[in-house]
Amino acid sequence: MGIEITGFAYDSAGAALASKSVNLYDRNTTTNSRASTTTNSDGKFTFSNSDVTVSSVYQMDVEITDGSNKTRYKYDDEIMLQRVDVKDFVLRSGSANQYVGTVVPTTLTADRTYTLPNHTGNILAAPSVTLDSANRLFLNDTASSSLNINAGLCINGGASTTQMIELKTGNSFAHGLTGTAETDTFGTFGPADSNGGLRIVGINDAQQSDSFDGAVQIRGVQKATANSGSTNSASAPVIIEGIEHDGSNGMSELGADENVVVFKKASTDSSTTHIFKGDGDIFVDGSTTITAFDDYDDVALLTAWNGAVTQDNRYKVEFKSWVDEHKDTLESLGIIAPNSDGTFHYSIKNLNTLMVGAIRQLGAKVNKLEEQLALKGA
C-alpha cells in the first residue's frame, strides 16, 4: 500500500516552475526511474499510489530537473519543525516497509488539544483499539449502545472464556496457582463459561491470620444511618440480587422455589453447601454426619445456650449457673464459639440438631409418663 506524493517546484525568485521533468527513484538511486511526470503551471507535481507502490522497499526519492539544475527531495531527510498541520498521519512499518498505519481523527466540531504522555513503550498495544471522542476505550470492539456516554471501557474477549482483566501488585507475591492465573496476579475478571456470566476470582498467598485475610472482600460503605427494615423492602450497604430474564429484554423476580444464591466449597458441580430460595427458605448441606446429642441433657444445654447468647442481663444473671456448668460442653460440641469480647457465635446446624434432640428427649419422657399413667389406670 502506498501514498500519493505531491509537491511544488519554484525558482530562486519564488516563481512556479512549469513543465519541468520530475522523476521518482528508489531511495539513494538515480537510475531506473519508477515513474515520471511534469509540473503544471503552478509548479505542482503528483505521483499516484500506484506509482509509489512499484518500489519493493516503499522508500522513494524525488528529483526535479530544470535545465542543468536538479533538486532532490530525499527519503533520508530528517527535519525539525515547530508545528505541523496534517489531515492524515501515516506510519510505515513491516519487514519491507510494506504496511502503513494511518492516524485519522474523528470528525471534529471544535479545536482540540491532545497531550501525549512521556511514554517509553507502546501506547496502542494492539490494532483493534479505539478511543472515541467520549473518552470510551474499546478493546477488540468499536462501539456499544449500553456503555456510559461520558467515559467507559468495553472489552470483547472473542470466543475465549479465560479472564479478560488481570490485577497484579508490585509486592513480593507469588501464589503458585498458575493453572488459574500468573503467579503475581491477585485478581481476575472473566466470563463464567461459554454461555456468559461474570467470574470474579481473588487469590491470596497468605494463611488467614485475621478476618481481613480473605481472597475476595466485598465492602459496602453506606452513609449513616443504614436501613434497619425487616420487611420485603429492606435494604443494606451490600445488596446481592438474583433475577431471571426471558431471553429477550424482559426481567422478572425469581419464583418461590428458584435459587437466588448458593454457596459452594469447591469448583465442582456437587459442592453446594447453602441454598437460598426465592421464598426466603434456606437449605444447608446435610450430607455430613450430624451428631446426635443423646448423651447430654439437651434441654439443659438449650437453656445454657440461651443464657450464653442473650443480651438481656437479667436473663444472664438468672441462668448464670447453667452457662457456667454447660459452656465447655457447648463449645466442645461445636454449638457455640466464644468471641474475644465475651460474646458467642453459634452453629445454626448444630443448634437445630440440639433442638430436635431436646424435642425427642421431651417426647420420650412424655411417652414414658403416658405409659406409667396407663398402667395405673389413669
- Please report, in tens digits, the pLDDT of each residue of the chain (378 residues total): 456 889 999 999 999 999 999 999 988 998 888 899 999 999 999 998 777 766 556 788 999 999 999 999 999 999 998 988 888 888 877 777 777 788 887 788 888 887 766 544 434 545 688 878 788 888 998 889 999 999 999 999 999 999 999 999 877 789 999 999 999 999 999 999 999 999 999 999 888 888 788 899 999 999 999 999 999 999 999 999 999 998 888 999 999 999 999 999 998 988 998 999 999 998 988 776 556 677 788 888 888 888 888 777 776 777 778 788 888 888 988 888 888 888 888 888 888 888 988 898 899 899 999 888 888 875
- Domain span at 9: 1-104
Instruction: For residue 294, give the amino acid letter.
Output: D
Q: Are residues 63 and 8 in the same domain?
A: yes
Per the structure, the count of domains in the chain is 4
Q: Are residues 38 and 79 in the same domain?
A: yes
At residue 148, the pLDDT reads 95
- Residue 79: what residue type? I
pLDDT of residue 126: 59
Distances in Å between the Cα of 366 and the Cα atoms of 183, 301, 303, 371, 373 are 63, 19, 19, 9, 10
Same domain, 79 and 147: no
371/332 same-domain check: yes
SS3 335: coil
Residue 362 in any domain: the answer is: yes
358 and 327 together in one domain: yes
189 falls within a domain: no
CA distance 296 to 222: 45
Same domain? For 16 and 80 the reply is: yes
Determine how many CB atoms are found less than 10 A away from the CB of residue 328.
Answer: 9
Residue 146 within a domain: yes
DSSP state of 106: P
Residue 41 domain-assigned?
A: yes
What pTM does this model have?
Answer: 0.63
Query: CB within 8 A of 232, min separation 6: which ones?
Result: none
CATH number at residue 63: 2.60.40.10
Write down the pLDDT at residue 236: 95
Asked whether residue 95 is assigned to any structural domain, the reply reads yes
36 plus 93 within the same structural domain: yes
